[in-house]
Chain A
């Protein structure tokens, strides 16, 4: 049926009908961006309504977010500090989501990464006098291994027993929090406080303020080398997904597992590997947070929900590593500013509303909406 149609006029009628049609052509490149921005705009309006309903002033809240996150060099630096862990968890989610593996466990893998890195200092695997150039790489490896292990478990269960990875990764989140608490409270507690002792300086990632003597403008800026690690990870991930054999396999499995099987790709093996890489990336995020910001193992700054924000960021960036870098900064701003906003649940709620609006807006990318006059044929 390739025949073209000649327009015909039918009987006229007044009523309208909305018709949805799947898109037969790719929309222009700007279109998805415009749809996403539109969705965020609508989300902010909806969020404002709920804030107003809860007794807050939405305009004040949003203005506050903007000022508190991009107002001056100091807060921009703080925004980047918040963006760093989000960047890594979002990268972690993006590779798993690419294969339609719903790894909701970046939070737990992040925690395990922080734990693994801390263990190097606290166990201790390396003495406090170890130079930084040994300390930092060893902690990175330890964090990534711990995260990878936490990704391996659900990956293996999925590949072997077809266990739903959403639930298993979520359960492992809860388990990882208890696990970290056990070590903080029971083993590594500093004088009965709910935190470990502070790490030695050689186990800290370099920060901008470390160079303030040479460049005075950097005084007080806490942005740390984790950001660079994250950006490098984003680049490697882009190379992996779009330019490597393995990335091709991941994309193929993600789009159509039957076709991947048909092309001779081992899905079980890739399920486990991708979950491990995803876990390792989230674990790297945990390591970076603990060595760049917290400098000790402590529950609340580590289990702060970065893993969940990463899900939203990955989705908003359409799983593209480059876009993830940008979106992470925006969400870093939201979280930074959110600490001072009342009611305190606002950032979380806005994240939820943004995600809902984004998913809903996806629809506009897949369908065209046509309004049809009943009776007419065009």
Chain B
């Protein structure tokens, strides 16, 4: 078992979580909790895969995935922002909706075979760096590199730009933003859309790069929920989100690979000789998510920081019409 290969694959797997987590950070920073990430990812994975089969163009698949997931996110936006419904219930409904629609429209896709995937590439000089080079910069999908770029860009956008300032204000104190002429409703719709697009991108990253194909609900296997957990662990910060995402990616990868070899660190591999123990390995990402949540929640209590202040609350201004 080669740990470099595991970590390398882990970075790719973690990219899925990275996109979904950063997407949810945008949505939550604007004050909208969207629990529909899992459903939006499935929509993204399904539409990316079916579009690529139909057209042979994975880039088009990627775009369609982002657009489709963004579109379905607007159902949640409409229900919570315009109709003031509970964000928790609506997000759950979105997961059901996204899962159901992707199952119906994805019917038969699982037998569709393989498609042309997005290219893998190595970065010339960087891939030569010992240890880090092969893990991060060699033969990775182009989406992984997009992920690297997204971390600082998202951080910079939120903390150092004018739209980012407005985004933070809308999530912290929407009536203050509104009083200064920022359109809270439009901003929230927009960032829910951004969150949806990134969830779609995360789904597409699975079906076009990390684990190509369509395996109905097993395509995402709860990663959308893990992403929501990571947002809390990350304290709504893209950089911390990246750390969590890659760590989880590596863990998922390790669990897949650890059952293969006959020996492990010089001992007989217990997971090889007792394959049923693998079920306990499968629990790990979910158990770790709970542990990470405990850590994140305790830290939030201790430092008295936490979610954007207006997270989860509909914004109702005076008595204006729709």
Contacts and interface: CB of A to CB of B under 8 A. Distances in A.
* A–B proximity contact (CB within 8 A): yes
Given A171-B225, A186-B276, A186-B279, A163 B297 contact: yes
Contact of B280 (A182, A187, A359): A182
Q: For this complex, into which size category does the number of interface residues on chain A fall?
A: 35 or more
B142 interface: no
A162 B89 contact: no
A202 B181 CA distance: 72
Given A348-B99, A349-B100, A20 B276 contact: no
B293 A167 contact: yes
Nearest to B76: A356
B232 A348 contact: no
A311 B89 CA distance: 10
Given A164-B232, A164-B297, A182 B79 contact: no
Interface string A337-378: 000001111101111110110011011001000001000000
A211 interface: no
Contacts of A33: none
B195 interface: no
Given A51-B104, A356-B79, A161 B97 contact: no
Interface in B101-116: 101-108
A185 B276 contact: yes
B322 A167 contact: no
B133 interface: no
B135 interface: no
Contact of A352 (B96, B229, B294, B322): B96
Given A163-B293, A174-B283, A355 B85 contact: no
A78 B171 CA distance: 49
A54 B102 CA distance: 11
Contacts of B216: 345
Most buried by A among B78, B84, B102, B283: B283
A187 B275 CA distance: 12
Nearest to A53: B105
Interface string B199-210: 000000000000
A178 B321 contact: no
A349 B276 contact: no
Given A171-B289, A175-B283, A352-B96, A359 B104 contact: no
A161 B97 CA distance: 31
Given A308-B96, A355-B97, A356-B79, A344 B103 contact: yes
Given A102-B88, A161-B301, A348-B103, A171 B287 contact: yes
Given A102-B88, A164-B297, A352-B93, A345 B279 contact: no
Given A50-B101, A348-B99, A355-B97, A179 B283 contact: yes
Interface in A157-178: 157, 161-164, 166-168, 170-172, 174-175, 178
| Contact-size category for B | 35 or more
Interface in B71-96: 75, 78-79, 83-86, 88-90, 92-96
Contact of B104 (A161, A349, A366): A349
B69 interface: no
A161 B294 contact: yes
B222 interface: yes
A178 B290 contact: no
B160 interface: no
Nearest to A350: B100
Contacts of A104: 92
Interface string B224-238: 011011001000000
Contacts of A179: 279, 283
Nearest to A364: B83
A270 interface: no
Contacts, number: 163
B319 A21 contact: yes
Contact of A345 (B83, B86, B94, B100): B100
A115 B94 CA distance: 30
Contact of B321 (A19, A157, A167, A175): A19
B100 A356 contact: no
B276 A182 contact: yes
A359 B287 contact: no
Nearest to B232: A164
Contacts of B229: 164, 167, 171
A17 interface: yes
A363 B83 contact: yes
A163 B287 CA distance: 13
A51 B100 CA distance: 11
A363 B85 contact: yes
A24 interface: no
Given A312-B96, A345-B106, A356-B75, A164 B293 contact: yes
Interface in B286-312: 286-287, 289-290, 293-294, 297-298, 300-301
Nearest to A104: B92
A359 B279 contact: no
Contacts of A102: 88, 92
B287 A175 contact: yes
A18 interface: yes
A360 B85 CA distance: 7
Contacts of B89: 315, 359
Nearest to A182: B279
B282 interface: yes
Central interface residue in A164, A182, A187, A351, by most chain B CB within 10 Å: A164
Pairs of residues from A and B, 9 with the lowest C-beta to C-beta distance, nearest first: A345-B103, A349-B100, A186-B276, A352-B96, A352-B97, A343-B107, A182-B279, A171-B286, A352-B100
18 contacts: A17-B321, A19-B321, A102-B92, A164-B297, A167-B229, A171-B286, A171-B289, A174-B222, A175-B283, A182-B277, A315-B89, A345-B102, A345-B103, A349-B99, A349-B103, A349-B104, A356-B93, A356-B96
Interface of A: 17-21, 50-51, 53-54, 102, 104, 157, 161-164, 166-168, 170-172, 174-175, 178-179, 181-182, 185-187, 308, 311-312, 315, 342-346, 348-353, 355-356, 359-360, 362-363, 366, 372
Given A346-B104, A359-B93, 7 more contacts: A20-B322, A166-B35, A167-B229, A345-B103, A353-B100, A360-B85, A366-B84
